[in-house]
Chains A and B, each alone.
Chain A
Amino acid sequence: MINKSAVEMAEALNKGEITSVELTKAHLNQISEVDGQVHAFLHVDTQGALDQASQVDAKRSAGEKLSALAGVPLALKDVLVQKGIPTTCGSKMLEGWRPPYDSTVVRKLKENGIVILGKTNMDEFAMGSSTENSAYGPTKNPWDLTRIPGGSGGGSSASLASFQAPLAIGTDTGGSIRQPAAVTGTVGVKPTYGGVSRYGLVAFSSSLDQAGPCARTVLDAAYLHEAIAGHDPLDSTSINASVPAVVAAAKNGNIKGMKIGVIKELQGDGYQAGVLKLFNESLDILASLGAEIVEVSCKYFDYALAAYYLIAPSECSSNLARFDAMRYGIRSGQGSAEEVMNATRQIGFGREVKRRIILGTYALSSGYYDAYYGSAQKVRTLISRDFESAFKLADVLVSPTAPTTAFKIGEKSNDPIAMYLNDIATIPTNLAGIGGMSLPSGLAAEDGLPAGFQIMAPAMKDDLMYKVGAALEAKLNTKWQGPILNSAPKLGAK
């Protein structure tokens, strides 16, 4: 049962073929079998998950009307707070902290009866593309345990790819949902900015951060999307409009006559040949389904990475000021409040977090503000204009999600610029606040590892990505004679 999709699990629950407690136990069992190898979880809430599952079972027995995913288990990225459950953000700074409240995402998951198995590993405070920046050690890619599972949400993507959970929650500031999905052969969606509440999401870069669904199928992601999305008065940047009909779109999948724009700037140099080949094969499939493929140019995308690595560190240097050793988290050192703060932040933050705080402090400092942060904000305008022009020519835009397949653990950890290049195709959507989805495009010829196909849609038209994604997924599954994860190596004690 753990190899099924979340929708299939929900059907089995509805038909009474299995209980949520049994389904949850099967996943907890898989976690104890394989997570010693994968290290996707930072905390497994065995008792809490079983309690939640038995409550759903009781409601189902009593004939209560339940939501679509009620009783299906999920893995939660450790950047979203859950009352009473350790939340570390992959940082020593928050070791041992148990939040006194639920994030809105968690509240909605609970209301939908979705069973939270535990908290997944991530790059510290979501800063990274490999999960190597976690203070608690890296997560391994289930396709090849010597490789990275993407980041920052590598724990969530790896948990899906190793069948420890059928659903997961990620957050995406520059690609942290989509790039992990791409390199693990899973599906990840960054909704339109403001589509899912940020209340209780520990902030990295507030104008870019967005929580979203991770799953193994487009339809599963759509159901999870609808469960967590919607306006929230507790997040003043949450959009006060109805949630796009993503489930209906994923079930529809009719793309005849749709215009699909290929972004010229997101291919070519720096992209692995096998990744590009799979991308082009996917385009052929979409064309065969009646879509019209057009080429669009977004000439300012070449500046997106530079703008991002000024804006995100600037916002992070401000946001992470809250870790002051006074109200929660660890405290270290002696002397005045300032001395204690300085000492705690030295041992509490890892190398990449310090690097970004210092960079952001520089970019915001007087004398440099206009040249760096100010210029980056202008580039943000130019990127948004590029998207606006491109969406006049196409309904959705597409690109490879990441330029390469999963690289080796340790390969890029001493070269920040090489690491940042992973996000080159995902960052523009965050800067413009629009939605982006990654789904598997196949296994690259060079290394047999999964690659991702990215679909981007205009703000609050997230349904369009689901429509195109579902259409492509159906054809690819036929070609592969089943989901791509069927080809992943089997893990576990042998």
Chain B
Amino acid sequence: MSNISRDDVANLAKLARIDLSEDELAGLAKELSVILDAVARVQEVAGEDVPPTSHPLPLVNVFREDVVRPSLTPQEALSGAPEQEEQRFKVPQILGEE
């Protein structure tokens, strides 16, 4: 029986960068425990001898020629920006004060 606590969810939410309300934290803790119980059965058959599949196609690396090709103009790239300044994305402060 998986037992995911409110604090576990709060920690996951912090890692995933989502604020969650107390209601959401409590609700998700309960739901996640149920879902994890249901999905944990993958462990029953995942033997040492079974190789993992990360992707359906057996591709390794796909390269292209390093040549200039048409791309978005700065105006186009910035067209959806919440804020912009001097042809750049304007973002809130990222680094803390020294």
Task: Give me the interface of A with B, judged by CB distance under 8 Å.
Answer: 97-101, 193-194, 207, 233, 236-237, 239, 300, 303, 306-307, 309-310, 317, 321, 324-331, 335-343, 345-346, 349, 351, 354-355, 357-359, 361-362, 365, 371-372, 374-382, 384, 416-417, 431-434, 459
A residues within 8 A CB of B16? 317, 321, 345, 357-358, 361
Q: Given known contacts A306-B40, A327-B89, what 8 new A-B pairs fall within 8 Å (CB)?
A: A207-B56, A306-B41, A307-B42, A337-B91, A342-B17, A354-B18, A358-B28, A378-B53
* Shortest Cβ distance from B75 into A: residue: A100
Give the residue among B9, B12, B32, B77 with the most A Cβ atoms within 10 A: B12
B residues within 8 A CB of A349? 18
A residues within 8 A CB of B39? 306-307, 309-310, 372, 376
Indicate which residue in A321, A343, A378 contacts B42 across the interface (CB closer than 8 Å). A378
Q: Report whether B79 and A303 are in contact in the complex, using a CB–CB cutoff of 8 Å.
A: no
Q: Report whether B80 and A355 are in contact in the complex, using a CB–CB cutoff of 8 Å.
A: no
Q: Report whether B24 and A354 are in contact in the complex, using a CB–CB cutoff of 8 Å.
A: yes
A residues within 8 A CB of B96? 336
Give the complex CA separation of A328 and B83 in angstroms: 9
Task: Give me the interface of B with A, judged by CB distance under 8 Å.
Answer: 4, 8-9, 12-13, 15-21, 24, 28, 31-32, 34-36, 38-47, 50-57, 59, 62, 64, 72, 76-77, 79-83, 89, 91-94, 96
Q: Report whether B45 and A379 are in contact in the complex, using a CB–CB cutoff of 8 Å.
A: yes
Q: Report whether A378 and B89 are in contact in the complex, using a CB–CB cutoff of 8 Å.
A: no
User: With A300-B45, A374-B46, A375-B43 as given contacts, are A233 and B80 in contact (CB-CB < 8 Å)?
Assistant: no
Q: Report whether A355 and B31 are in contact in the complex, using a CB–CB cutoff of 8 Å.
A: yes
Give the complex CA separation of A207 and B89 in angstroms: 30
Q: Report whether A382 and B50 are in contact in the complex, using a CB–CB cutoff of 8 Å.
A: yes
Q: Report whether A207 and B54 are in contact in the complex, using a CB–CB cutoff of 8 Å.
A: yes
**Nearest-CB distance from A452 to chain B (Å)?**
23
Q: Report whether B79 and A417 are in contact in the complex, using a CB–CB cutoff of 8 Å.
A: no
Q: Report whether B77 and A100 are in contact in the complex, using a CB–CB cutoff of 8 Å.
A: yes
Q: Report whether B17 and A310 are in contact in the complex, using a CB–CB cutoff of 8 Å.
A: no
Give the complex CA separation of A21 and B34 in angstroms: 53
Indicate which residue in A327, A354, A362 contacts B81 across the interface (CB closer than 8 Å). A327
B residues within 8 A CB of A375? 42-43, 46
Q: Report whether A377 and B53 are in contact in the complex, using a CB–CB cutoff of 8 Å.
A: yes
Give the complex CA separation of A316 and B75 in angstroms: 29
Give the complex CA separation of A381 and B58 in angstroms: 12
